[in-house]
Structure 1
Amino acid sequence: MTLKHVLATTALVGLLTTPALSQDLDAMTAEELLPLAQEEGTVTIYSFTSRIAAVEAAFEAAYPGIDMVGYDASSTEQIARLQAEAAAGIASADVVYISDAPVVLTELLDQGLIEGYVPPRVAELLPEEFKSPLLSQRLSTKVLMYNEEAHPDGAPVDNLWDLTTQEWTGRVIMVDPLQRGDYLDLMVEIVLRSNEMAAAYEAEFGVPIELDAGNENAGMQFIADLFANDVVLVSSTDDVNAAIGSIGQPNPPIGFTSYSDRRDNEDEGWALQVANEVEPSNGIIFPALLALSANTEHPAAARLAIDFLLGDDSETGGEGFAPFYVPGDYATRTDIVSHPDAVPLEDFIAWRIDPTATAEIRQEIADFILVLQ
């Protein structure tokens, strides 16, 4: 065979096998993916939670020979980085673990920067809403939290409008919603739930709400009143948690953070607890999404990592899901039982976000907040 024939044959084989292999990967079990992933040798994950470090250790113990590299970055940072890398023709991530669904769906998925993948092992264990358009590994939160050491009988407020009163002037804390998308989504949801906010206002103060000029609804009025009441904006969730939760405070602030951060109470010296009896809601619950980078260089290892993050076949999800089996995180798999110390999901009063509705007014609310600041 001539060199010309060899090259032609090699090219033909490549054309025939590479697309087929790419298609076959989605149907492969973890056992079938493993040897291919070991050949690739590594997998890089962009993660919106620092808990990826614990996943990394467990994954590498379960699958020797595959190096998992986790980068902890907020969803806002991930979105900017993925867009910049795509524009530069760089493919750094294999797996994207991210929240901020309203932007992820419209600016990453719709632009073809990420792709959906559902491990066949768990496909029948996930409701359709958690498989499409992207895989949801769990539900996370941004909700009102308080210091239970200072308030052993329960939350010191029973209505969101309490946060706008003189008692709480300068004592409500949250991450700047213009820096972190999930906190902006919280503000947007408050606007989308304006009818409920108006009813809660009347229940709290005994009179119908009156809107100031420029505030179109009760949700915008609440945000304006919250900022006028000197809400404290910080740059990180850890700052919120320490301010609210640190033990030994006679008069601690209250604020919005992740319910699941209560897991760190003992290690950090906090007394964080969720306010789950607040009208009309304590905040939002939203999906933590897993997706493949559209230009992954390690497609088998990427799929194996996602499979691992969905947990094993035990009722708690095993080592792959262990960092997320905590009060305040809710598995999307129907066969993983709720954490015994968590408020049951059916009793949890947070609003479930609608990414499409949020995306429609997100920029408008961001502009509104910018003026308030």
Structure 2
Amino acid sequence: MKRITTKAFLLATAIATFASGAALAEEFNLDALIEAARAEPAINVYDSTGKIVEMAEKFTAKYGVEAIGTKIKAPAALEMIIREAQAGNVQADVSIISDVPAAMAQLIPQGFAESWVSPALAEHIPSEAQNPLLVVSSANIIAYNTTLYDTCPLTNIWQLTEEEWSGRFAMQDPLGKPSYTDWFNQMRTYADDKVRAAYEAQYGKPLETEYDSATEAFVAALAANGPLLTDSDSAAAEAVAAPGQTEPFLGLVASAKFRDNAGAGFSLGLCKGVDPIIGFMNSGAGLMMTGSDSPNASKLFLHYVMTAEGIAPQSADGKMSSNRSVALPDDEPSGIGEYVDQVLAYNPAKGEDDWDTRQDWQDFWRVNYAR
């Protein structure tokens, strides 16, 4: 596969984004792509969810192009991709990286990987989700225990900084989960005015703070209130809604964990209408490796996962496609589809800044956290 420069790639992406969707769709020939893909070696596809195995199997059955799906966490995938590229021995062909800032900082600029958007689907994908291509977004949302509460007891995120919820809010540790520091940075960038307004709505007076932003004031106060820090969404969900709970906890968990209501007898409820947001999105960037021996099969897979059929195994867990014509299934357990406008979306336009400020946010959290 011909290696392209970062500048050339960005130019190509800009053309794909801003040119006429109808013209691009007319030029794109899916049948020709399928035929070319069938002449190439099998592809290896990585993702941080086990659902990638099922997705690859269904892709193979649909197109007759062999794909092998492997579950691998983002840090390990990033390291593997970089080492393979540096050694000139590329084994991965496609990877859905759940750490978008790292992909933007470590893979694309160095020419190890590139983004590609199917021209047949580009008109349904917002421009901000095309560079790089955001395949899917998972909502991390505030949840409560429906057995202990009739409705969510939270109406404003600033309440999480109050004595009532001291030590009784479960969330993953930002020191070990980069998506949380990304959330802090995205909130400061895109929703700081809303965080400030929420403070005034809660306390009836303007926010006065030593910090440069309302977001920093909120994060400092949240850390000082001693939330229960976990190493997984599963542990946070268990703290909130496992059977037999008597201590009322709130928690920030992935929408996928709501499937445990049926599978494990949990009682997770979605906190909707919380001012100004009910959670944040963590997105996965779909990238193809520039050294792949199967560039057409890689493109075909990226086309496939941007369709309703291709992303269906993840949609069942409340993970949302960037293809706006693809809806969540009616029986998705969290109900997040109705309240997605209350979730802070991830915007990769600030991805490099999210990467650059991670250590700063981790230090900020470490200094303010009350153990």
TM-score interval, normalised by the smaller of the two chains: 0.7 to 0.9
2:285 counterpart SS class: strand
* Alignment pair present for 1:334 and 2:324: yes
1:139–1:367 distance in 2 versus 1, CA, 3 Å: same
Alignment TM-score, normalising by the size of structure 2:
0.80
Aligned counterpart, 1:199: 197
Distance 2:155 2:59 in 1: 43
Greater CA radius of gyration, 1 or 2? 1
Aligned counterpart, 2:48: 48
2:153 to 152, 156, 160: 156
1:245–1:52 distance in 2 versus 1, CA, 3 Å: farther
1:268 to 254, 264, 269: 264
Structure 1 segments unaligned to the other structure (5+ residues): 1-17, 312-316
Distance 1:302 1:97 in 2: 12
Q: Which runs of 4+ in 1 moved over 6 A?
A: none
1:162–1:358 distance in 2 versus 1, CA, 3 Å: farther
Distance 1:121 1:159 in 2: 42
Q: Which moved more, 1:100-109 or 1:271-280?
A: 100-109
Output aligned runs, 1:209-248, within 5 Å.
209-211=207-209, 215-248=211-244
1:288 counterpart SS class: strand
1:327–1:339: 8 Å Cα contact kept in structure 2? Answer: no
Instruction: Name the aligned partner's letter for residue 196 of structure 2.
Output: A
Output aligned runs, 1:1-373, within 5 Å.
29-64=29-64, 66-73=66-73, 75-131=74-130, 133-151=131-149, 153-192=150-189, 193-211=191-209, 215-311=211-307, 317-318=308-309, 320-326=310-316, 328-340=318-330, 342-344=335-337, 348-357=341-350, 359-360=352-353, 362-363=357-358, 364-373=360-369
Distance 1:158 1:298 in 2: 51
Aligned counterpart, 2:20: none
2:133–2:287: 8 Å Cα contact kept in structure 1? Answer: yes
Instruction: Name the aligned partner's letter for residue 188 of structure 2.
Output: V
Q: CA deviation at 1:231?
A: 1.3
Q: CA deviation at 1:258?
A: 1.7
Instruction: Name the aligned partner's letter for residue 268 of structure 1.
Output: A
1:41–1:67: 8 Å Cα contact kept in structure 2? Answer: no
Give CA-to-partner distance per residue, 1:242-274, whole Å, 9 cap, x none. Answer: 222323322342222222432343123222232
Instruction: Name the aligned partner's letter for residue 211 of structure 1.
Output: T
Structure 2 segments unaligned to the other structure (5+ residues): 4-11, 13-24
1:145–1:257: 8 Å Cα contact kept in structure 2? Answer: yes
Distance 2:79 2:97 in 1: 12
Alignment TM-score, normalising by the size of structure 1:
0.80
2:54–2:69: 8 Å Cα contact kept in structure 1? Answer: no
Q: CA deviation at 1:84?
A: 4.0
Q: Which moved more, 1:183-192 or 1:62-71?
A: 62-71
Distance 1:85 1:273 in 2: 43
2:233–2:257: 8 Å Cα contact kept in structure 1? Answer: no
Q: Which moved more, 1:324-333 or 1:298-307?
A: 324-333
